[in-house]
Structure 1
Amino acid sequence: MIVSRGTVAFMFEGSQSEVLTEFLVSARSLSEYRAMFALSPRDLAGRDILDCPGGAASFTAEANRVGARAVAVDPIYATSPNVLAEQALVETERAVAWAHHHAERYRWDFYGTLDAQARVRRAAATRFAADVRVAPERYYFGALPSLPFADNSFDLALSSHLLFSYADRLDATFHVKALLELSRVARQVRAYPLLDYLGNPLDELVDRVRKELSTNGITTSLVRVDYEFHHGAHTMLVADRSN
């Protein structure tokens, strides 16, 4: 299964916009990644890191500035850097609109206010747009569960807001294949959040995925993080290979 992510603005389905008909292409900052994935300076400096899917996040640009060797992969990177830069800004407005339309589902203390959150996301999209133009070699076209990298290419792979978030369209088999593929290319994988995009808990899916990974030699743990945007989204999945 190849997961593509749409770039059509404001496509919400239902009378109260309860269902996303497209995958949101999000623009998140390094500060958000640090919190979501409990990243310490040691996790970044001198480390080879994959952001998958990278979307319009500024993580790759910012992480390279603080000493990481970071790249991103996403199916949206099939298009030209100039088009990507333009789409990043459009998609950010779609994501901001979704979050603000459903403000009651979220905790805003990390950002302070809705407007502050919007400023963080717009700034991230702007940084991404600049970086993809000047350093397009950092942004690879690819889609889970098949990545264009050799085994053990990375120390760490980060996967934000795709796995588990879209459990309404990505089944358990996909999740297992995706995490096995991430574990093939990286020594450790961190995935966040473990709720779907409506904020529903996914304990049964998480348990099933962890059991399947265990049978394939992948050790997993659930780690509390100092970030909670969706109510209850305070845990990441950490996967480590046994060899």
Structure 2
Amino acid sequence: MEEYLAMLALSPADLTGCRVLDCPGGASSFTAEACALGADAVAADPAYAMAPGDLAVRALDDARRSSDYVSAHADRYEWGLFGTPEAHFAARVAAVGRFAWDVRSHPGRYVPASLPELPFADEEFDVVLSSHLLFAYGDRLDGAFHRDALRELLRVCRPGGSVRLYPLLEYAGAALDGLPALVRELGGDGVDATLVPVSYRFLRGADTALVLRKR
């Protein structure tokens, strides 16, 4: 929860009493913590089609692989938040534990689905969050995917609500050359786009979130 609030320029009041979507949710504990806060939160991810036990095992494997990558590229990260790669891994394992418990206790919060097509109604959510997929893998996901995915996230968001994305930086370190044109295109579709500085610091240079609001 604390990481989501920091990296997506949110406060607890932005979530309490709101219908919230986290997509892709992965093995994050955010949905469980948001619901405890008073939000009506759900997460979407294709991995949720797995049985809970298998999903927990995969989540731990993913946490280990992520930790190995971070350790091997430690110079790409700022360590003021976690201190060490070992502490980062411990935080991820703790989140996986909370996630695995919530999946078993509240399976309806976890919807097997993937962008750019989601099984939700138009304008179903007040707040739509997407982290560490769009833009982060720009070396693998092309401009058409990003455009279609953003339009889908906007489709399920109500007018006046917000779609928030982070980070705006590829893991590979390449510049996001297509982002300005994509933002201009969305603006022509009746969407206000704002680049918001955030307090979250981990991946070097990832200090901004994109906030989209439907008029």
Check conservation: 2:5, 2:12, Cα contact below 8 A.
no
Check conservation: 1:86, 1:129, Cα contact below 8 A.
no
Residue 46 (structure 1) aligns with: 17
Residue 20 (structure 1) aligns with: none
Check conservation: 2:103, 2:110, Cα contact below 8 A.
yes
**Which has the higher relative contact order, 1 or 2, with Cα contacts under 8 A spaced 6 or more apart?**
2
Residue 169 (structure 2) aligns with: 195
Matches within 5 A, 1:47-196: 47-186=18-157, 187-196=161-170
Q: Identify which of 227, 230, 233 aligns with 2:200.
A: 227
Do residues 207 (structure 1) and 180 (structure 2) align? Answer: yes
Residue 8 (structure 1) aligns with: none
User: In the TM superposition, what is the alpha-carbon distance from 1:112 to its structure 2 partner?
Assistant: 2.2
Residue 127 of structure 2 aligns to a residue whose secondary structure is strand
Count, aligned residues:
212
Q: CA RMSD in A?
A: 1.0
User: In the TM superposition, what is the alpha-carbon distance from 1:164 to its structure 2 partner?
Assistant: 0.2
User: In the TM superposition, what is the alpha-carbon distance from 1:87 to its structure 2 partner?
Assistant: 1.1
Q: Identify which of 201, 217, 229 aligns with 2:190.
A: 217
Residue 170 of structure 1 aligns to a residue whose secondary structure is coil
User: In the TM superposition, what is the alpha-carbon distance from 1:116 to its structure 2 partner?
Assistant: 1.8
What do residues 71-100 of structure 1 show as CA deviations (whole Å, max 9, x unaligned)?
A: 000111111122112211111111111111
User: In the TM superposition, what is the alpha-carbon distance from 1:228 to its structure 2 partner?
Assistant: 2.1
5+ residue gaps, structure 2, are none
User: In the TM superposition, what is the alpha-carbon distance from 1:115 to its structure 2 partner?
Assistant: 2.0
- Percent of paired sites with the same residue: 52
Residue 231 of structure 1 aligns to a residue whose secondary structure is coil
User: In the TM superposition, what is the alpha-carbon distance from 1:68 to its structure 2 partner?
Assistant: 1.1
Normalising by structure 2, what TM-score?
Answer: 0.95
Check conservation: 1:53, 1:74, Cα contact below 8 A.
yes
Check conservation: 1:222, 1:236, Cα contact below 8 A.
yes
Residue 203 of structure 2 aligns to a residue whose secondary structure is coil
